[in-house]
Structure 1
Amino acid sequence: MTRTSFAERWDLDPARREVLSTIVDGLASAERVIANAEAAKAMLLKAAQDNGLEILAEMGAPSGWILPVRAIAADIAVATNASDRTIRGRMDDAAVLIEQFPATFTALVDGRLSRGHATAVTEEGLRLTDPDARGRYEQLVLERAAGQSPGRLRAIAKAVAEECDPTTIAERHEVAFARRKSWVEAREDGMGVFCLLTGATEARAMQNRATSLAITIHRANRADGASEDERTLDQIRADVVADVMLTGIPSAHVADESGGNALAAIHATVQITIPAATLTGIGDDAAFLAGHGPIDPDTARRLAGGATLWSRLFTDPDTGCLRTVDSYVPTAAQKRFLRARDEHCRFPGCRRPVMRCDLDHTVAHSAGGPTAVTNLAALCRAHHLLKHYGNWTAHHGADGTITWCSPTGRTMQDVPAPVVRFIPSDDVDPPPWDGDPPDF
């Protein structure tokens, strides 16, 4: 499809603003109704399961004999055009939500959370078997749930669950790492999936390096103008991984001007945030890996020991704010701080990784906006364009909070993570802006 460049800011006239405001209000109201309906479904599913369990108890049947529950699930499945296995799973999910996460269920009833939000809270909190720890977890997560997308809320819930879990991540990681393996899953049409279960740091580093290699190839193919390579970035990334696994090198897809392999110099870079007490060995709090979440302290300390592939950020133990950055170049340090603070695109609900974002002046530089951390934020290309040409405005607070105002006048805040966790490799910058709007 041919794309043409067009960049002109548009504004809403009062009449159209009112029409769109009514539409947005209607959709928000519909979401609250849907959430309430999901809560009603959960109550009915739990009631159905409870009835089956009561029948079992009245019969004096052993606990493993669940035929009444299965029969009731099959009845519901036929009535709702679903499989009985699916209904049984939904019964279990409903029981977990209502019994173990009552505050989350109440928020669903009230329409303050969607089913997706509730699922994120319950799935990340299930590992907390102690009722007090689970209650504290639920309270902390719900306090931060307002205005978050399900994806962002899941990241918050993962971090809070780690904080509330009485079992250390080092103990859990030792057990989990012993289960590392690789396997292949067959797919239709001659395709297959190669799967690898390994440490989070290794997995993230492999994905980052594959992405860096793929971007280099993609840019080179566009730059020479003669290439007929029409592969997408995903396709190139898959090909690079296959090359490395089968030949030990990423293959000479791209040669530099001297005739060498331009891909050989690209390395994976991941970043972790390490509490100072963990780094010095006097504490065992979890470190945080970008795009994943908590990792065990032994791995974090080993990576912080000077390996050139790892950038290091150090946080204040009291505030969680960035204390120092592993760089002596001020401009690089500023860039690293911003990317570490933001982690992802700062448009509400967007989780596009910061390494794929632009660093945007909230107040345009041409309008006198300073190049300072209090006036810079990561925005993915789509939302960068939306800010400049889509009638959205942003106000940058001194603490990094960005207040957005929509075309219909609604305001919402995007608050940076309280603990800095990640910056991407400086080797990979977003592609140059050619003026064409990206696909949303």
Structure 2
Amino acid sequence: MTALADATLEQVDALAALTEMLVEVERTISSLQAARDGILAVGSRLALDVAAQAEHPDHGDMSARTVAAEFATALRVSDRTVQRRMADAAWVVEHFPLVWEAQGAGRISAAHARVVCEAGEHLPDAASRAAYAAQIIPFAEIESPARVGRMARRVAERFQARSIDERHLDAREKRSVWVKDVGDGMTQLGLLGPSALVHGVFERLTQMAEAVQEHESPEREYPEREFTEHESPELPAPEPDERTLAQRRADLALDLLLTGAPAGHDRGEGLLAAIRGTVSITVPVTTLVGEDSTPAELNGRTPVDPTTARRIAGAAVGWDRILTHPITGAVLAVDRYRPGPELKRHLRARDQRCRFPTCGYASVDCDIDHHHEAALGGATEESNLGHLCRRHHVLKHHSPWAVEPLGGGVYAWTSPTGKVYVDRPPPQNTVTFTEDPAILAPF
């Protein structure tokens, strides 16, 4: 079955028209949401102005409550909710006016605005926030919020007044564990800690959960004795483990924390206890040797302080070396000090995530797809391969969506209605050089 393969031209045209309508409606919604934030921000400012002119000792808290109550009763919602929205809206409008304006113009959505502001919330002054916003907004106009969030964190690092080493030392003081009751006999356990360690924990839990699924029924052992012709050593088949991956992760985490080892899940050989957490660190060589302070990146998602990156690199048994162009930052080659599947590593380093437009699934969770099928003569080479998550892999093979390599890791996807979406590999976390800083590309 190929989805929409039997659709008539009228039905395809109707889909195209619906898509255009949906885009326009979303732009209008984004604009109206920005307008609402503007009204809430003005309400917050009004409350502060009233408090300031009367020199209220509570610095405007009661005035803000009063304005929030006015808004809330008119809207028939909680005044606590409205007051929180007022504070959030005022923060965005005052700290990131360019982002608010872009949303108001319908160029980005509220989700895009949120991830951009969250990534830049620690920037120290208005000038750095404005420069950061000016660079990331054009990227947000063409990519999904998940992809924008990762790029925004990288771009925001360029405008930090303090090095990530200094900020990480301060941030480590906030590490903690907490619980939150959510009802129905369930409670959340939260953990805030260094990114490299937390991601390593999550990766180890994932590997254990997958191992439990693969070995859900340990081999049964029986006492050494003879069986009569009417007896059989076979026992009834065990019930299949129907837990999801997330459920197995949660059960294993509790098992580990309560017993110190996954005793409730492990086999006699101790296979789960032998599993170790792994993380992927991308670090420019200039940072690695201490000549630069460009942050490393953890799993292509979040910045990591150079000290932690150097420590991990020093303990690694092997490295993937990604060679990039010194001007453009494009991947030139990937090799390793130890032999291995170089092509897979090259693709993983190039793609970093699913290559379907807007998808943010990490490459380690994706399939490697032949864009031109191998069975039909497609070559097994870099120009014909790319990572697709299972959802979009299936979509490519069972719908009229088509992909065409354009070279350099760039792919053009054509939708059933004929629209073309170009997906480019994400920029590498690397250092580039130019003689004229004025011509340096923002990404």
The normalised TM-score by structure 1 is 0.86
User: By how many angstroms is 1:164 displaced?
Assistant: 1.7
User: By how many angstroms is 1:9 displaced?
Assistant: 5.5
Query: What is the CA–CA distance in structure 1 between the aligned matches of 2:41 and 2:290, rounded to whole Å?
Result: 47
Aligned residues: 410
Is 1:393 the counterpart of 2:402 in the alignment? yes
5+ long unaligned stretches in structure 1: 1-6, 422-440
Q: What does the per-residue CA deviation read over 1:79-120, in whole Å, with 9 as the maximum and x for residues that have no partner?
A: 223222222222222223323322222211221111111111
Identical-pair percentage: 36
User: By how many angstroms is 1:292 displaced?
Assistant: 3.6
Corresponding residue to 1:192 among 187, 191, 207: 187
**Which residue in 2 is equivalent to 1:3?**
none
Corresponding residue to 1:118 among 106, 113, 122: 113
**Which residue in 1 is equivalent to 2:225?**
none
User: By how many angstroms is 1:340 displaced?
Assistant: 2.2
Is 1:201 the counterpart of 2:196 in the alignment? yes
5+ long unaligned stretches in structure 2: 220-236, 431-443
Is 1:175 the counterpart of 2:156 in the alignment? no
Change (3 A) 1:223 1:152: farther
**Which residue in 2 is equivalent to 1:305?**
314
User: Which of structures 1 and 2 has the larger relative contact order (alpha carbons within 8 angstroms, sep 6+)?
Assistant: 1
Is 1:344 the counterpart of 2:353 in the alignment? yes
Corresponding residue to 2:287 among 252, 267, 278: 278
CA contact (8 A) 1:313 1:325 kept: yes
Query: What is the CA–CA distance in structure 2 between the aligned matches of 1:168 and 1:104, rounded to whole Å?
Result: 25
Query: What is the CA–CA distance in structure 2 between the aligned matches of 1:217 and 1:105, rounded to whole Å?
Result: 47
Corresponding residue to 1:412 among 421, 434, 437: 421
CA contact (8 A) 2:296 2:429 kept: no
Structure label with greater radius of gyration: 2
User: By how many angstroms is 1:289 displaced?
Assistant: 0.2
**Which residue in 2 is equivalent to 1:232?**
244
**Which residue in 1 is equivalent to 2:438?**
none
Is 1:159 the counterpart of 2:154 in the alignment? yes
Secondary structure of 2:178's aligned partner: strand
Is 1:246 the counterpart of 2:258 in the alignment? yes
Is 1:24 the counterpart of 2:19 in the alignment? yes
Secondary structure of 1:270's aligned partner: coil
Q: What does the per-residue CA deviation read over 1:161-185, in whole Å, with 9 as the maximum and x for residues that have no partner?
A: 1122121100000011122222333
Is 1:43 the counterpart of 2:38 in the alignment? yes
Change (3 A) 1:358 1:212: same
The normalised TM-score by structure 2 is 0.86
The AA in structure 2 aligned to 1:271 is S
Query: What is the CA–CA distance in structure 1 between the aligned matches of 2:321 and 2:26, rounded to whole Å?
Result: 40
**Which residue in 2 is equivalent to 1:378?**
387
CA contact (8 A) 2:48 2:59 kept: no
**Which residue in 2 is equivalent to 1:329?**
339
The AA in structure 2 aligned to 1:70 is R
Change (3 A) 1:146 1:304: same
CA contact (8 A) 2:355 2:423 kept: yes
Change (3 A) 1:94 1:192: closer
The AA in structure 1 aligned to 2:39 is L
Moved more, 373-382 or 411-420: 411-420
Query: What is the CA–CA distance in structure 1 between the aligned matches of 2:426 and 2:98, rounded to whole Å?
Result: 23
Query: What is the CA–CA distance in structure 1 between the aligned matches of 2:302 and 2:321, rounded to whole Å?
Result: 15
Secondary structure of 1:397's aligned partner: strand
CA contact (8 A) 1:271 1:311 kept: no
Q: RMSD of aligned C-alpha atoms?
A: 2.4
